[in-house]
Structure formats: structure tokens, C-alpha cells
Structure 1
């Protein structure tokens, strides 16, 4: 199950933070590290600060976009110091997030996403996530270093896994009952957007409307079977009707 839990770092500026994050991961049994457009990698500073977790560094994958990094994941949690305008489901407590993440990881890949050192994740990147999570901290000084944030959420995830040993052997659900991947959801939202525009519901770009609908489906968490049903409904609306 832990092998299904991915840590994604977006545009990390200091290579040392990559190494320190890899070390934080390994102490909690995590090994899947994906880097989105790091400023400098590979780098000797990353390897030096990994301090025994060089294997995590050596196996890290570098990709061009966050969408690519999480396309096969069924749950993507963005770590954010504050709520953004996008009304995604939000975890106020990392412990709650970790329990649900571990449950999803029993059958499919999931991801924890961390943004840039200075300003975190952009709103467009948050839209690639299914949930947000905040780490409770001193309201007068709630700034965590990137690797510290990775350590806190990795610890909560490892604790949730360790405290629920029965979940290690949870039978895999049929594919139709499992959650859709982010790629499958992206295709659905693109399909929904086409139908809304063709029907006249959207007469011009309405980013806010589409973002609210994406958040609605994130909260609903449809299964793959239910998403297929929705796609079928949209396809039926696209088909030309014969005149009587």
C-alpha cells in the first residue's frame, strides 16, 4: 500500500530541499518521488542532504507538468497553507486526510503534492488536485520548510497505515467500483464542457462555473462505473435527433 503513495514536488528551487524531502519520505516508508520541473536536478546537494535516502533520489522521476505527475492517481491532495478560491474538499486535519489517502492507496496510486518554497501551488495546479490539506501551526508563524511539510504529512500517512493493519490486506474492489483516475476525470470534464458550450449553457468562457462543477464532482467522488454512466448521458445529448 505504501508503494501506491506518491510524493510530488512542484518546481522545487533549492535542490537541497529535494534531498531533505527524500530523507523525510524514506523514514516513513515512502519511495515514490516525482519532481515537476525542478530548477536543478540531479544535483550533488540533493544527494548530500538525502543522507541515506539516495535510492529515493536516484529513482525519482522528472516530468514536465503536474497533470502528467498525477494522471494515474485516484486521489490527489494538495498541501496548501490557506484555502484558495477553488472550493475543493479541504482537510483541516492531516490525520483525517491520511486515513482516507491510505484507504484509497489499497488499490490505486494516490499523491501528496507540495508547491514551491516561496508561494506554494498556483490555482491552476490546485485544479489538478481532488482535495486540499492544511497543516495546523502557530497562527503567528505558520511557515514550514518544504521538507518539514513533507515530513509531517508523510508521518501522518505512515501512522494511518500502521494503525490499520487490516487495510494492508483489503481485497481489491472491482474496477467499476474504484475511483476514477485524474486522467479519466479530466476527459469527463472536457466532455462536459463541450456539451455545455454546444447547448448554449455557456455562451463564453466561464472558468468559475466550470471550476465549481469540478469541485462538485470532487466532493461527490463518483466511481468509474458512475463516471461512465455520466459520459454516456453526455454522449446521448450530443447525438443529433431525427425530426418526427
Structure 2
């Protein structure tokens, strides 16, 4: 589905913004970039700021008009910092736009269109769009860098996609985050209790201290590796206690 979502940059002046936009796209799983009459592309600055997203730049298409960039799309959303006097459906919030885009992208291409760094999209270019979207910002200073705007809308699209049952998205779990078994955790609790008794930390037979510490470690949910480190720490302390 994300492969159906196209980012279109119109007459980008600074090549570095193209690279930064490509990086913003790739972090959100978007790969299709179309450039309408960029001032300079390809360019070393674009490649440098793309960082690990050079593949997005390499596959980018350069076209001569916005019509050419979006003619096959069923939905074209123009990003605009202000409302224009055109009767287009307008998304006041990016998340509402993203939900609609994800729905349409299930079967056909859609496009998010971004204008020039200084002046945005012209009225004629807005007429090529089916919808508009604005990014709510500080009314006293609502200026966003081009790549920042791409990042915000791309994030909202990725977020809407993640919510879908068909996305299959799962956060990558660290390799050492496997939780301990109940048996391993019980051995740790027993070790901790024994050490507290031997060290004289517990002086009352019915003190709740042991239970409270056990509850603390249960809430912390240490991984197997972390629990092993704690067992090693307890063993080191235990080796310095006098023999009983």
C-alpha cells in the first residue's frame, strides 16, 4: 500500500532539500519520489543529505509538469500553508488526510504534492489537486522547511497505515530483550531473599521489604540478560559476606 503513495516536489530550488525529503520518505516507508522541474538534480548535496536514502534519489523521476507527475493518481493532495480561494476539499488536520490517503492507496496511486520553498504551490498547481492539507503550526511563525513538511505528512501516512490490521507492522525488538522464564525469575527472587537475610538487611521475620523489592523487579520486567547481570551482582556481594 505504501508503494502507491507518491511524493511530488515542485520546482525545488535547493538540491539539499530533495535529499532531506528522500530521507524523510524512507524513514516512513515511502519510496516513490517525483520531481517537477527541479533547479538542480542530480546533485552531490542531495545525495549527502539523503544519507542512507540514496536509493530513493536514484529511482526518482524528473518530469516537466505537475500534470505529468499526477495524471495517473486517484487522489492528489496539495500541501499548502494557507487556504486558497478554490473550492477544494480541505483537510485541517494531517491525520484526517492520512486516513483518507491510506484508504485510496489500497487500489491505486495517490500523490502528496509540495511546492517551492519560498512560495509553495501556485493557484494553477492547486487546481491539479483534488484536496488540500495544512499543517497546524504557530500562527505567529508557521514556516516549515520543505523536508520538515514532507516528514510530518509522511509520518501521518505511515501512522495511519500502521493502524490497519493488514499492515503487519511490529516494532523491532532488541535481540537481548527476551523475558526470563518464571523459573529463572523465581531463582533470582530466592537468591535476593537469601542475600538480604545473610547480610542482615532483613532483621524482622515478617517484614514486607522482601515482597516490595520483588514487586519492584517484577514491574521493571528485566530481560534474561539483565536478570543474569543482577544474579552476577548478587553473587559478587555474597562472596564478601562472612560464612555462616
Using structure 2 for the length normalisation, give the TM-score: 0.68
CA offsets, 1:1-49, max 9 Å, x none? Answer: 0000000000000000000000000000000000000000000100000
Q: Could you tell me how far apart the structure 1 residues matched to 2:167 and 2:110 are?
A: 15
CA offsets, 1:62-99, max 9 Å, x none? Answer: 00000000000000000000111111000000000000
Q: Could you tell me how far apart the structure 1 residues matched to 2:129 and 2:152 are?
A: 19
Secondary structure class of the residue paired with 2:52? coil
Give the gaps of 5 or more residues in structure 1: 169-244
2:91 corresponds in structure 1 to 91
Q: Could you tell me how far apart the structure 1 residues matched to 2:79 and 2:167 are?
A: 24
Secondary structure class of the residue paired with 1:52? helix
Q: Could you tell me how far apart the structure 2 residues matched to 1:167 and 1:57 are?
A: 25
2:109 corresponds in structure 1 to 109
Please identify the structure whose Cα radius of gyration is greater: 2
Q: Could you tell me how far apart the structure 1 residues matched to 2:18 and 2:146 are?
A: 9
Q: Which contiguous aligned blocks of 4+ residues in structure 1 show a shift greater than 6 angstroms?
A: none
2:6 corresponds in structure 1 to 6
* Contact residue 8 and residue 69 of structure 1 kept, 8 A: yes
1:41 corresponds in structure 2 to 41
Q: Could you tell me how far apart the structure 2 residues matched to 1:152 and 1:26 are?
A: 13
* Contact residue 33 and residue 61 of structure 1 kept, 8 A: yes
1:163 corresponds in structure 2 to 163
Aligned pairs for 1:6-85 (under 5 A) are 6-85=6-85
Structure 1 residue 164: Cα displacement: 1.1
CA offsets, 1:146-167, max 9 Å, x none? Answer: 0000000000000000011247
Q: Could you tell me how far apart the structure 1 residues matched to 2:116 and 2:15 are?
A: 12
Q: Could you tell me how far apart the structure 2 residues matched to 1:99 and 1:3 are?
A: 16
1:130 corresponds in structure 2 to 130
Q: Could you tell me how far apart the structure 1 residues matched to 2:45 and 2:167 are?
A: 37
Structure 1 residue 61: Cα displacement: 0.2
Aligned pairs for 1:148-187 (under 5 A) are 148-166=148-166
Aligned CA-pair RMSD:
0.9
* Contact residue 24 and residue 150 of structure 1 kept, 8 A: yes
Give the gaps of 5 or more residues in structure 2: 169-244
Q: Could you tell me how far apart the structure 2 residues matched to 1:157 and 1:109 are?
A: 14
Q: Could you tell me how far apart the structure 2 residues matched to 1:156 and 1:140 are?
A: 24
Secondary structure class of the residue paired with 1:53? helix
CA offsets, 1:154-192, max 9 Å, x none? Answer: 000000000112478xxxxxxxxxxxxxxxxxxxxxxxx
Count the aligned residue pairs.
168
